[in-house]
Amino acid sequence: MTELNDLPIRDSLRGRTPYGAPQLHVPVALNVNENTHELSEEILVDVIRRIAESLSTINRYPDREFTALRELLAAYVGHGLDSKNIWAANGSNEVLQQIFMAFGGPGRKALSFTPTYSMYSLIAQSTDTEYVEVPRLERYEISAELVTKAIAEHNPDIVLICSPNNPSGTPVDLEVIEAAYAATKGMLVIDEAYSEFSLNENSALSLLAGRPRLVISKTMSKAFAFAGARLGYLAADEAVCDAMRLVRLPYHLSALTQAAAEAALTHSVKMLETVSEIRDQRDRLFVALEDLCLDPYRSDANFILVGGISNPAEIWQKLLDQGILVRDVGIPNTLRITAGTEAETSAVINALTELLGKK
C-alpha cells in the first residue's frame, strides 16, 4: 500500500500531521467551542427557504463578489464600515489561509504568541511561511512591551494575535493591539473568533480607521451557532480585500453558503440571544472549577482552560466514558471545556465532582 511519504510531496510537508480534533458522537460534546444551542424553528425555516430559492439558479455560478452578503456583514459589524471593507470565505480558517497566501510565503515570516490557535502554524507550514512562536507571559497574558519587543526582534511580515485567545480565553487590551501595529511594518491580524462572548466589547474594529495593515478576522461559527455553514470573514482596508481577490479561487463561496449566511444575518439579534446564557454558564463553570480546587484561567470566550489537573489524559478518558467530550490541547496539566447549555454544564460539573472525589 502506498504511503504519503512515497509520493513526491513537498519536502516542507513531510512528516507533518493534519489538524484534527476528535469527532465523536457523544451526548455532551464540549471540545471544539461550538455554540451548542440549536437554532430556532423560525430561523431554520428562513434559512431553508433562502437555500431553496438559490437552487432555482444553481445551474449558474454564484455571485463572485457575494455583494449582498458583504453588505449584511458590514451592517452587522458596524463601526462605519461598508461592503468594500469586508471579505468572506469558507470559515475563518480560509480567511487566514488567504491572508498567508497574499502576505506570507517563501522567504516571509509570521509571528504569534503561544499557546494560541494551532491552525496558525499549520497554515504557515502549508504556505511555506516561517513561523515564529513567542511565549506568552504568566497566565498566558500578553503586554504592549512583550509584543513590541518580539516584533522588533523578529521583523515579521504577519503578526497574529487571537483575542480572546484560544485555547486560554485571555482577552487582549486595545493598547496592546495599538502597540503591535505601531511596531510592525507588516500585516497585523487580530483573530476575533470569540469576540461576541466578551463583556469588555474590546473589539479591534474600533482601531481600523487609518490603519491599512490591520485586519480583523471573525466568524459565524461560534456565537452565531452556524459552524456547519462554514462562513468566516474579515474587516479591513479596501486594499486588503483587493489582495484577497488575487489569491481566492473563482466563485469560492457557493450560492448555498451565501444564501444561508444572508438568512442568518437577517436574524442576527435572535441568533445571538444565547450568548448571554453561554456567558452565564461559563462563569458558573469557572466558579465550580475553583470549588473543585482546580485552576481555571480567566476567559472572555465561550470556554475555559482548566489548570491544576495532574492526570488530564485519564480525566479526559473518564469523562468520555460518561459521554462527555472535552479537549486536551497539549498544555501540561490542563483540559479545555466549552461552556454549553445549562444541562451540558451541569453534566460536566457533576462528572468532574464525582471523578475528583468532591461531593
Answer whether residue 199 shows pLDDT above 90. no
Contacts of 176 (CB under 8 A, 6+ apart): 142, 143, 144, 147, 161
- The predicted model gives 177-192 an average pLDDT of 98
User: How far, in Å, CA of 133 to CA of 12, rounded?
Assistant: 18
Q: What are phi and psi of 93, to 5 degrees?
A: -65, -40
- Mean pLDDT over each residue of the chain, to the nearest integer: 96
Whether pLDDT at 65 is above 70: yes
Select from 106, 80, 135, 100 the least CA-distant residue to 10.
Answer: 106
Instruction: Average the pLDDT over 34-50 and give the result.
Output: 96
pLDDT of 358 above 90:
no
pLDDT tens digit string along 286-298? Answer: 999 999 999 999 9
pLDDT at 6 (0 to 100): 87
How many CB atoms are located within 10 Å of the residue 79 CB? 15
User: Are the C-beta atoms of residues 39 and 46 closer than 8 Å to each other?
Assistant: no
Q: Does domain 41-267 have CATH number 3.10.20.30?
A: no
Residue 202: predicted pLDDT: 79
pLDDT per residue as tens digits for the range 211-223: 999 999 999 999 9
Looking at residue 15, its pLDDT comes to: 84
| pLDDT over 70 (residue 64) | yes
- Residue 200 confidence (pLDDT) above 70: no
In this structure, of 51-65, 75-89, 188-202, the range with the lowest mean pLDDT score is 188-202
pLDDT at 310 over 80: yes
Strand partners, 236: 215
C-alpha cell at 320: 468520555
Q: Give span(s): CATH 3.90.1150.10, the chain.
A: 4-39+272-355
Reported as a single tens digit per residue, the pLDDT across 131-160 is: 999 999 999 999 999 999 999 999 999 999
- Would you state the pLDDT for residue 16? 84
Residues of the chain with CATH 3.40.640.10: 41-267
Tens of pLDDT, residue by residue over 153-162, are: 999 999 999 9
Q: What predicted TM-score, i.e. pTM, was given to this entire model? A: 0.96
pLDDT at 193 over 90: yes
| pLDDT of the residue at 17 | 82
CATH topology classification for 4-39+272-355: Aspartate Aminotransferase, domain 1 (3.90.1150)
Q: Would you state the pLDDT for residue 185?
A: 97
Which residues have CB under 8 Å from 69's CB, separation 6+? 88, 253, 258, 261, 262, 265
- Taking residues 102-129, what's their average pLDDT? 97
Cell of 82: 461598508
pLDDT at 359 over 60: no
